[in-house]
């Protein structure tokens, strides 16, 4: 049986008025958990059946007739490890059982779309959440995170625990597949000072900077971010024949530059190996050149 496409939040500032609830934004894989007749399926946002990749979640099959929406992640201590969760989707099946035992996944359930044969999607968010909270879903590998109408408290707690951000949901909103302004996502961002070590043309004709940052052990590669065209002329005098730091799988036709231009970028978070996630260019410190 086909499942509905998930409802997706739009990016923006968090609403500060009445009529909204606030939840933590988790760094993981969006999934639907379909349970009926003692059988269960785990389907990703793009429609991929990932059931076989996460056998440690099999106890979900005992929940009865229910369709749940949530985020699947692998925790590294108390923080979600996005890379570990995504890598499971590409893990050869022969290694799945090993990872299920050593680095098990957890599903953080935040919505219920069907219960005991009744489609709940037309019900308002607040009613669906009351139903969800009443299901008593508390297992070793799944849980229902809290929600609140206290925006500042959720923001403060999210920051204190190093979570990705906050999602605001309109209390009277039905569940509608696709992108919606009834759900607003806000990522906490940090500003990073980086050095440009190269640039490359993208498939769409734009340009990306390759970035690194100074550490006690020298430069460390950070990844890439899209850059405006008017920054490129300042890089031409800095071109050199080799990268200032090792870059895994460097792109073809890259223009390496000496790491003399400092740039500011924002990032939502970092991967376990220190690279920036969702890096966005803010400005180039061309005043520092020369």
Q: For 224-243, what is each residue's pLDDT tens digit?
A: 999 999 899 999 999 999 99
Mean pLDDT, range 68-74, rounded to an integer: 96
> What pLDDT does 1 receive?
60
Mean pLDDT, range 99-106, rounded to an integer: 95
Mean pLDDT, range 140-160, rounded to an integer: 92
Tokens of 170: 């309109």
Percent of the chain predicted with pLDDT > 90: 69
Report the predicted TM-score, pTM, of the whole model to 2 decimal places: 0.72
- Which candidate, 140, 138, 55, places its Cα nearest to that of 101? 55
CATH match of 190-284 with 2.40.50.140: yes
Range list for CATH 2.40.50.140 in the chain: 190-284
Mean pLDDT, range 41-46, rounded to an integer: 94
pLDDT of 19 > 70? The answer is yes
Range list for CATH 3.30.470.30 in the chain: 7-187
Which pLDDT band holds residue 289 (cuts at 50, 70, 90)? very low
pLDDT of 211 > 90? The answer is yes
CATH match of 7-187 with 3.30.470.30: yes
Least confident of 60-74, 103-117, 182-196, 268-282: 268-282
């Amino acid at each position: 049986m086909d499942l509905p496409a998930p409802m997706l939040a739009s990016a923006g500032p968090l609403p500060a008025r009445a009529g909204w609830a606030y939840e933590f934004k988790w760094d993981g894989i969006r999934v639907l958990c379909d349970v009926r007749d003692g059988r269960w399926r785990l389907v990703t946002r793009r429609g991929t059946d990932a059931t076989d990749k996460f056998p440690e979640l099999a106890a979900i099959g005992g929940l009865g007739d229910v369709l749940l929406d949530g985020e699947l992640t692998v925790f590294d201590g108390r923080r979600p490890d996005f890379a570990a969760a995504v890598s499971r989707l590409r893990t050869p099946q022969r290694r799945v059982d090993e990872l299920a035992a050593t680095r098990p996944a957890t599903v953080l359930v935040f919505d219920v779309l069907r219960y005991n044969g009744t489609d709940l999607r037309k019900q308002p968010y607040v009613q669906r959440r009351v139903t969800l909270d009443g299901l008593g879903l508390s297992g070793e590998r799944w849980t229902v995170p809290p929600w609140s109408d206290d925006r500042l408290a959720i923001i403060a707690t999210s920051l204190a625990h190093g979570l990705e951000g906050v999602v605001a949901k309109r209390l009277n909103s039905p569940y509608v597949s696709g992108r919606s302004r009834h759900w607003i996502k806000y990522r906490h961002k940090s500003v990073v000072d980086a050095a440009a070590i190269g640039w490359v043309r993208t498939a769409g004709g734009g340009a990306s900077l390759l970035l690194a940052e100074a550490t006690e052990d020298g430069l460390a590669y950070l990844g890439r971010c899209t850059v405006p065209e008017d920054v490129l002329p300042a890089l031409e005098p800095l071109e050199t024949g080799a990268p200032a730091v090792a870059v895994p799988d460097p792109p073809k036709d890259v223009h390496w530059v000496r790491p003399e231009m400092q740039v500011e970028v924002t990032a939502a978070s970092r991967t376990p190996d220190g690279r920036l996630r969702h890096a966005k260019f803010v400005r180039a410190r061309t005043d520092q050149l020369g």
